Chains A and B, each alone.
Chain A
């Protein structure tokens, strides 16, 4: 088995974000790391955050830092990763890519304790950077520029200190004095040696300054001082001419200003009134805002509260430190203050957000803690309290969707649509959501209005070529034409000059601002001054088809005659040439006029004999055939599109060779062909095919991101556009349309208007580049697992939160509870209150306290039909649907595994239960049948031959139904750790252990015994398992790997037949293992923790793939190869790309994919797809090695992607 890994939807969680000017001076940009992808984001003028560029780095990014050389106006990006190398990147705006400026190796690869990469600190003046490890090692690189103003990097200077754990490192602002880095360090040398524990108790964190002496080229430990033992984060304070310098030490409950030769200035962090007294307040992210005359810091606590920190100082002496409550937003991994007055918040889990500053919190009366008012009492420092309030200083401008983390997902077609939907359980705590994903772009309806009669076609026209927005919408019916004018409202007009009594075939705004209407009996040319020229079709012939651009018009008459017109310099449409064809024309199209040219050279004509001809429109060889392509069905529609790559071709390194003109042909059988047209000779080559749907695709040109793109209307609409330099054909999640045209107006700068079923619709696409569009509904607690009821199609979700207060006990809820007693098992708490909780976070409880519920949800309306809140500190951890064979009258029941008082480190629980529910009201409500104590944590449940199979702690057990309780029938006690996953197939049971990989079991009915016959040799920490066939299971582990494990064939048959009559049951393996061992057939490091695996076909006629969802919110697919030839081709392509295009982060691709286990029989499609980003010369050389052309390779890549969806 060979698998091809393809990321369908990139990770959407953010690991860290940095702000800077990367593409141009003053450009407000954010570079984010999504774990293994690096992205450049930029808020556009309307405040929407746009992804400008995204690339996979095939490494684990751990830290990012922007830095700029003194006097420069743009920032570089330093990347600290698991590659054992420091990498400096520059964003190249013209070609839209990250250029690797420097890559210096300093250590082993991997996220190791003493190999730097975890911490990055830069000197604010851009003279040096420090890259540090969790322990011991710190390397300082001196950065400079050479005479040609190129960035140079020195060899590293060591600032190691053994036995020191590092909590944080920052670069201090020293003005132009020697660069200094500050670190929080904790020495463990003594604690390791002292058996009394006294040394460990006395261990003291130190704030240490490391000075880089630029003159001596040497790093020294300059100064060290004891610091609060709760210190976790440092914030550098502007120095030199801008401020007092030094550093803010953020510690649990305190922020302390500290500097060399300066007494500490300490202030308490205000805490929420509702917070339990034993909980501290830890600062987790910060941003500094610096203007000419003032600076302040925004810091965020672990609960999401933002504080504004200001310093009062004179000269170098800080007199007061103030911490003022600012606002509350969801907890972030990074926050960035943009110079334009925005705050970008990269949330830990759930959607990210862009906020606008309404004020900087100067003149409100929010709670403030000051160092001057610090009160020390006998129990420590006097705390300051506040209550979170709705946003006051910030205003939400844009939300960036994030699915991180996907806890569980399933693919099912519950809504009876053409393609199945993905149901993903995302988020955590109060920000949990159920998202229904459909492959395709989300189309937003701006307006829908009914039209009289049944429209056949629609166009939009501008008033002048230079206008930004459209002025008219022209709708054609079978016997009439309607002209609508776009203004404040859309109204019908009669003074446009268009003929209303005939149907229209085509309209066009010509380059001299005159308008053209083509109708069956002639051409109507409406000059800019409203004079009208008419051209009538000769004799009884009518115009059947027409194609136009701003300069040229071609019409096809019935009987197969082509007439070609050109716009003359005097503004007249002149007939230039005629051509008789042998038969009727089905469709035709003219290529757009290339920039700076008079006319386009190519006309494409399709006829009923299934041929497409390219005719020349050059005066020299007018109407001569340049090329012919035979297609396998009658064409329906033709469209020329410039390839998006065309405009960057030849501009240097990253330009692709694929730039060119493409002819798109929609065929009657629903297939879309895309053929490259040679821009000089008109020759057709390199045809790609794609099945779009059951209706013949009609093709229309629309503008997407300012580029002419293609809208193809089949049984669903598709959009062919350029996404980050790559041509993408993506379906729209919208109903079928009949006819469409581009549309631009004030409210909708880039959209399209379309007609379907007597309605005029104006649509816009908001989130381009996203593979799935989402429908979201809120959940109450973190979703753990869910199942789909096969008959009622209802979703049943188990939700549970650790250290949370159950809804009924929340103080804010009590009043509501009194008003409405049916509240906890009622429908859902109201939307306003949920929104507040989402903003402020759910209240915290002490460890070992749980809040949990089981929810039944209707997938059609996304409405909750019932919620059962669990009481008694129970948490639902597993669930399954089953039918008991000894209880057939009950039908399908739901088993929910719950655990009471679950606590971690170590994992203990008071008691576990299996609750059995029956369905009521057609599956909309649950009713408890009974509850059975299990004596352990029921981590996994599965139906097995009309009984219930349960993994209880490390015990595998079979239960049968009883009237009062579940009855234990059989058990196996000896699993190594804890059962995490259970799956069954026939007699076989596949058990995934929390730490010890897969175990295969068999149930012997006549002996009523479970016995283990095979296990894995590697200790895998299982998170998900999915049986592929009787012998094979696809699994995912906690260390971000996917693997497929298989029972060897001979063992499989032995086990099945077992002629000895149960001898195998008695055979014991060595060292407590099973008698047989599983073999890994595929091994692949995904680089992201996979939480769920599914098998699915994502499109009609598509192939079945293995889908996975991850903690960072990515969805990927593993496609099994069907031919040896493809395997060879792709493994060679992958091999060449590894050499020719090493990953951006500096990690070796093969070692990354084999981080834990050597990569086996899996080909990385994400790397292969980067082939299209290579410069043309490199593409060519790789293609030659593979004995193909670059076009063929690109085609293969596209084909294999199209097999998935």
Chain B
């Protein structure tokens, strides 16, 4: 049964954060998961900042709408297919 103390201990606080904020790390976070989060955050930030999006659009010589679509699409699998999970020891 959860006591008052449990509610404030570090683990439940972390769990709460992880549930609330996507991308909050944890002790067993793999390199891949971390990278995926960073990439998704970056894409979201690029899309949010219009000047940066324009900058990409100029470099690629594509329309801003296309660049935005491509980036949103890349958020699905930003770092490629996840690696095979190692067997838990």
Q: Is B14 interfacial (CB 8 A cutoff)?
A: no
Q: Decide: B52 and A282 in contact? CB cutoff 8 A.
A: no
- Shortest CB distance A780–B (Å): 13
User: Which A146-172 residues have a C-beta within 8 angstroms of B?
Assistant: 162, 165, 167
Q: In the complex the two chains form, is A188's CB within 8 Å of B76's CB?
A: yes
B83 CB, min distance to chain A CBs, angstroms: 6
Q: Is the CB of A196 within 8 A of B81?
A: yes
Q: Which residue of B lies closest to A252 (CB)?
A: B69
Partner among A113, A196, A303 whose Cβ is within 8 Å of the Cβ of B41: A113
Stretch at the interface among A362-370, A798-806, A1168-1176: A798-806
A195 in contact with B44 (CB, 8 Å):
no
B51 contacts across to A, CB distance below 8 A: 35, 1040, 1087-1089, 1110-1112
For residue A134, CB closer than 8 A to chain B, the reply is yes
Asked if B9 lies at the interface with its beta carbon under 8 angstroms from chain A, I say no
Question: By DSSP majority rule, is chain A's interface helix, strand, loop, or mixed?
Answer: loop
Of residues 21 through 47 on chain B, the ones whose CB sits less than 8 Å from some CB of chain A are 21-23, 33, 36, 40-41, 43-45, 47
Residues from chain B with Cβ under 8 Å of A407 in the complex: 58
- Which chain A residues (193-208) contact chain B, with CB distance < 8 Å? 193-197, 200, 203
A424 to chain B: closest CB distance in Å? 15
The answer to whether A348 touches B45 (Cβ under 8 A) is no
Contact of B54 with A200 in the complex, beta carbons under 8 Å: no
Cβ-based interface call for B84 (8 A):
yes
How many whole Å from A1030's CB to the nearest CB in chain B? 31
**Complexed CA–CA distance, A285 and B51 (Å):** 18
Is A192 a contact partner of B36 (Cβ separation < 8 A)? yes
- Is A186 in contact with B66, judged by CB distance below 8 angstroms? no
Given contacts A113-B41, A405-B58, contact A1089 B72 (CB under 8 A): no
Are B49 and A348 interface neighbours, CB within 8 A? no
B45: chain A residues within 8 A (beta carbon):
110-113
Pick the contact of B22 from A136, A197, A1089 — CB < 8 Å?
A136
B61 touches A804 (CB 8 A): yes
Q: Does A429 lie within 8 Å of B61, measured CB to CB?
A: yes
Residues of B within 8 A of A847 (CB): 60
Given A114-B21, A285-B65, A348-B64, check contact A15 B58 (CB 8 Å): no
Contact B48 A118 (CB under 8 A): yes
Q: With the chains together, A694 CA to B40 CA distance in Å?
A: 59
A135 touches B69 (CB 8 A): no
CB distance from A566 to the nearest CB of B (A): 61
Name the residue of chain B whose CB is nearest to the CB of A1155.
B49
Q: Is A1064 an interface residue (CB 8 A)?
A: no
Question: Is A638 in contact with chain B by the CB < 8 A criterion?
Answer: no
Q: Are A349 and B66 in contact (CB under 8 A)?
A: no
Asked if B65 and A113 make an inter-chain contact with CB atoms under 8 angstroms apart, the answer reads no
Min Cβ gap B82→A in Å is 5
Contact of A803 among B21, B48, B60, B77 (CB under 8 A): B60
User: Which of A113, A302, A1089, A1110 interacts with B44 by CB under 8 Å?
Assistant: A113
Within 8 A of B (CB), among A100-145: 110-114, 117-118, 133-136
Which chain A residue shows the least CB distance to B42? A113
**Total number of residue pairs linking A and B with CB closer than 8 Å:** 147
Q: Give Cα A118 to B47, complex, Å.
A: 8
**Cβ–Cβ contact A194 & B76, under 8 A:** no
A565 at the interface (CB under 8 A from B): no
A195, B61: Cβ atoms closer than 8 Å:
no
A interface, size bucket: 35 or more
Most buried by A among B43, B45, B83: B45
Q: Would you give the shortest CB distance from B86 to chain A, in whole angstroms?
A: 11
Q: Which chain B residue lies CB-closest to A81?
A: B48
Q: State the Cβ distance, A167 to closest chain B Cβ, in Å.
A: 6
A191 at the interface (CB under 8 A from B): yes
Majority DSSP secondary structure for residues of B touching A: helix
**In the complex, what residue of chain B is closest to A162 when comparing beta carbons?**
B22
Inter-chain CA distance A188–B73, complex, in Å, is 11
| A284 on the B face (CB < 8 A) | yes
Q: Which residues of B contact A285 (CB under 8 A)?
A: 65
Instruction: Give the chain A neighbours of B54 by CB distance below 8 A.
Output: 13, 348-349, 404-405, 1089, 1111-1112
In the complex formed, the residue of A with least CB distance to B60 is: A802
A802–B81 CB distance below 8 A: no
With A162-B22, A405-B54 already in contact, the answer to whether A191 and B77 are too (CB < 8 A) is: yes
Contacts of A113 in B (CB 8 A): 22-23, 40-41, 44-45
Question: Which B residues touch A782, using CB under 8 A?
Answer: 58, 61
The residues of A that contact B59 with a CB separation of less than 8 Å are 802, 904
B62: interface (CB < 8 Å): yes
Inter-subunit contact A1038/B52 (CB<8 Å): yes
Contact B64 A284 (CB under 8 A): yes
In the assembled complex, the Cα of A363 lies from the Cα of B75 at a distance in Å of 44
The reply to whether the CB of A1039 lies closer than 8 angstroms to some CB of chain B is yes
Is the CB of A428 closer than 8 A to any CB of chain B?
A: yes
- Central interface residue in B61, B66, B85, by most chain A CB within 10 Å: B61
Contact between B81 and A35 (Cβ–Cβ < 8 Å)? no
Q: How far is the CA of A751 from the CA of B21 in the complex (A)?
A: 59
B72 smallest CB distance to A (angstroms): 6
**Which residues of A (738-789) have their CB < 8 Å from a CB of B?**
782
Q: How far is the CB of B87 from chain A (nearest CB, A)?
A: 13
Most chain B C-beta atoms within 10 Å of own C-beta, residue among A186, A404, A1040, A1111: A1111
Which residue of B48, B63, B69, B77 contacts A82 across the interface (Cβ within 8 Å)? B48
Contacts of B84 in A (CB 8 A): 195
A111 touches B61 (CB 8 A): no
Q: How far is the CA of A1112 from the CA of B49 in the complex (A)?
A: 11
Could you tell me if A1040 and B52 are in contact, using CB atoms closer than 8 angstroms? yes
Task: Return chain A residues, CB-CB under 8 Å to B63.
Answer: 282, 284, 302-303, 331, 348
**A232 with B69: in contact, given A135-B40, A348-B63, A1112-B50 (CB under 8 Å)?**
yes
Chain B residues with CB below 8 A from A333, complex form: 64-65
Report A57 CB to chain B, min CB distance, Å: 13
* Binary contact readout A282-310 vs B (1 if CB under 8 angstroms, 0 otherwise): 11110000000000000000110000000
CA distance A115 to B25 in the complex (A): 18
A60 touches B69 (CB 8 A): no
- Interchain nearest-CB distance for A837 vs B (Å): 14
Q: Which residues of B contact A803 (CB under 8 A)?
A: 60-62
Is the CB–CB distance between A904 and B50 below 8 Å?
no
Residue of A nearest to B54 (CB): A1111
Complex formed: what's the CA distance from A802 to B58 in Å?
A: 9
Q: How far is the CB of B11 from chain A (nearest CB, A)?
A: 20
A62 on interface, CB distance cutoff 8 Å: yes
B22 proximity list for chain A (CB < 8 A)? 113-114, 135-136, 162
Q: Are A1040 and B65 in contact (CB under 8 A)?
A: no
The answer to whether A135 and B44 have CB atoms under 8 Å apart is yes
* Residues A1111 and B61 in contact, CB atoms below 8 Å apart: no
Min CB distance, A784 to chain B, in Å? 10
Task: Given the known inter-chain contacts A162-B22, A167-B72, A428-B61, please indicate yes or no for A15 contacting B44, CB distance below 8 A.
Answer: no
A186-B76 in contact given A82-B48, A1088-B51 (Cβ < 8 Å): yes
Whether the pair B52, A165 counts as a contact (CB closer than 8 A) is: no
Residue in chain A with minimal CB distance to B63 = A302
Most A CB contacts (10 A, CB to CB) among B21, B50, B58, B83 go to B50
Distance between Cα atoms of A1163 and B51 in the complex (Å): 22
Residues of B within 8 A of A404 (CB): 54
Contacts of A165 in B (CB 8 A): 72, 75-76
Q: How far is the CA of A995 from the CA of B63 in the complex (A)?
A: 25
Q: Decide if B72 touches A134 in the complex (CB within 8 Å).
A: yes
Closest to B66 in A: A302
* List of 10 A-B pairs having minimum Cβ-Cβ separation, nearest first: A284-B65, A111-B48, A113-B44, A302-B63, A1089-B51, A197-B81, A15-B50, A134-B44, A802-B61, A1111-B51
Q: List 14 A-B contacts (CB under 8 A).
A: A60-B49, A133-B44, A135-B44, A192-B33, A203-B76, A232-B65, A348-B57, A349-B58, A404-B54, A428-B58, A904-B60, A1040-B51, A1040-B52, A1112-B54
Which residues from chain B sit less than 8 Å from chain A, CB to CB?
21-23, 33, 36, 40-41, 43-45, 47-52, 54-55, 57-66, 69, 72, 75-77, 81-85
List 6 additional contacts besides A167-B69, A1112-B51; criterion CB under 8 Å: A111-B48, A134-B43, A194-B82, A282-B66, A428-B61, A803-B61
